[in-house]
Amino acid sequence: MVRESESGLPVEPVYGPEDLAGWDPAGKLGDPGSYPFTRGVHPTMYTGRPWTMRQYAGFGTAAESNARYRQLIAHGTTGLSVAFDLPTQMGYDSDAPLAHGEVGKVGVAIDSVDDMRVLFAGIPLDRVSTSMTINAPAAVLLLLYQLVAEEQGIPADALTGTIQNDVLKEYIARGTYIFPPEPSLRLTADVFRYCRTALPRWNTISISGYHMAEAGASPVQEIAFTLADGIEYVRTAVAAGMDVDDFAPRLSFFFVARTTLLEEVAKFRAARRIWARVMREEFGARNPRSLMLRFHTQTAGVQLTAQQPEVNLVRVAVQGLAAVLGGTQSLHTNSFDEAIALPTDRSARLALRTQQVLAHETDVTATVDPFAGSYAIERMTDEVEAAAVGLMRRVEDLGGAVAAIEHGFQKGEIERNAYRIAREQDSGERVVVGVNRFRLDEEEPYEPLRVDPAIEARQTERLARLRVGRDRRTVAAALAALAKTAEGDDNVLPPMKEALRARATVGEVCDALREVWGVYVPTDVF
């Protein structure tokens, strides 16, 4: 009986030379660090140094999150990854009516430069790489980060990190959008232009398939829709007058790692190959770094279970191994208790230790791309690539990623796959250990981390003090200048930075843009 992969592709019980008949290793593989980058974007990969070990964290107030970051750094993490609460992600202040009940819940509340200053207090920003999972208001949070770095006396060219800044996937899978697609893409292009000169080492976007996977996308859908979004961003920047080699080297991607290790390794290898070909053949990129698909990986939160949560430690280890064997540049391993609540200090430390075991106690860092030439992996890589390219053609036939979003295409495809997965789990065809098989009669008690509900009141008080203590006229003038720039074609980031420097809040800056650009209202087509 032939099994099917997560993407519905056949998985044969045995692979052999006949599965690679007519296969061209030179064209398909190349050397590590060279076109088409199937084997990795660096010649030495982890034999030179391991991947960046990030831990995604943020909850409650800036002070509480700062304490968690300091602990992670002390335990050996080499990169911070900031989670923001929903009001911040949506461009609202903590005292906005729509923010009620959500302040500090799924991430840290950041309302102004005052909060950002507390968030990174005592953390040398020139010696840590920071990733910020923020999309619609990504430019705002990036500028707040730069302002804090300036206060620390750190030059802009010393700052390294990433903002997610991928609003297209918000329309597809998450929903934390603010503006309609056209001004959102304009804002993305403005970030590209700004960072080219102001923050030259910053990764200006992390084009994300992770959230599509969490919504139910298969591996093929994940890379197809993510790369289609990437093509849309590149087209937007080129149409705005930028040379592709001026910004493409700073593009990055963000994928999931599931427990289906073989297909995940094939997925990462296929994605690198597709992107290299697109950038060279469609956009004429000449800089080899423009052809490299560099990506961060997070283990699959959607596969964590609240039942027998300790089993998640095993899942995360397998998922992390898949990411490493697939050649990720940085990795976040989920904590075993995340299906229940925010991670405790102990579980966050265990998640980091999982990466450290992979890096220092196994031999996966001893050689580059150890699966290269495997009959199974090479065949699966080809099949994932072909299926993803076919799906990308369907997006193109609809007019590109934005047009396909407006047709509801990506969302519909993902929802159908999510429904298939749910039915297979309900029927027991898809085994989930501890959920539909190997269950306990009685679950063992677990005490989760809980966020103090008084955080919202404390953030509201901080905002009140900020508004009293700042120069109202300066803030009003800066916000008016931002709105005027948004009405034209000039880059909005310089006046945005001045408004934030004057202690305008995240919500006030986003409101100024809402007044000019409007807000996105989705249309259901199903």
SS (H, E, C) 159-225: CCEEECCCCHHHHHHHCCCCCCHHHHHHHHHHHHHHHHHHCCCEECEEEECHHHHHCCCCHHHHHHH
Q: Is residue 290 part of a domain?
A: yes
The answer to whether 100 touches 150, Cβ cutoff 8 Å, is: no
The enclosing domain of 103 has a CATH number of 3.20.20.240
Q: Is residue 137 part of a domain?
A: yes
Statement: residue 26 has pLDDT above 80: no
Q: Is residue 447 part of a domain?
A: no
Distances (CA, A) of 262 to 8, 377, 441: 14, 7, 33
Statement: residue 1 has pLDDT above 70: no
Structure tokens at 336: 């075993």
Nearest to 463 by CA among 60, 110, 97, 118: 110
Q: Can you give the C-alpha Rg of the chain in angstroms?
A: 23
Q: Is residue 246 part of a domain?
A: yes
Nearest to 119 by CA among 129, 106, 109: 109
pLDDT of residue 524: 60
The answer to whether 334 touches 304, Cβ cutoff 8 Å, is: yes
Q: Is residue 477 part of a domain?
A: no
Q: Is residue 286 part of a domain?
A: yes
Distance CA 327, CA 283 (A): 25
List of residues 6+ apart from 350 with CB closer than 8 A: 313, 335, 336
First-to-last CA distance in the chain?
36
Distances (CA, A) of 185 to 87, 139, 181, 225, 443: 21, 12, 6, 17, 47
Distance CA 506, CA 500 (A): 8
Q: Is residue 397 part of a domain?
A: yes
- What's CA 274's distance to the chain center, in Å? 19
List of residues 6+ apart from 190 with CB closer than 8 A: 139, 491, 492, 493
Q: Encode pLDDT of 63-104 as tens digits.
A: 999 999 999 899 998 888 999 999 999 999 999 999 999 999
Residue 140 backbone class (left: φ over 0; alpha: ψ -120 to 50; beta: rest): alpha
Distance CA 275, CA 111 (A): 37
Q: Encode pLDDT of 488-525 as tens digits.
A: 999 999 999 999 999 999 999 999 999 999 999 987 64
The total of structural domains in the chain comes to 1
Statement: residue 55 has pLDDT above 90: no
Average pLDDT, the chain: 95
The 10 Å Cβ neighbour count of residue 27 is 11
Instruction: Name the pTM for this structure.
Output: 0.94
Q: Is 180 exposed, middle or buried (0-12, 13-18, 19+ CB in 10 A)?
A: middle
List of residues 6+ apart from 461 with CB closer than 8 A: none
Range of the domain at 240: 48-365+373-427
Q: How many residues does the chain have?
A: 526
Query: What SS3 class is residue 52?
Result: strand
Q: Averaged over 29-41, what is the pLDDT? A: 95
Q: Encode pLDDT of 427-480 as tens digits.
A: 999 999 999 999 999 888 877 777 788 899 999 999 999 999 999 999 999 999
Q: Is residue 204 part of a domain?
A: yes
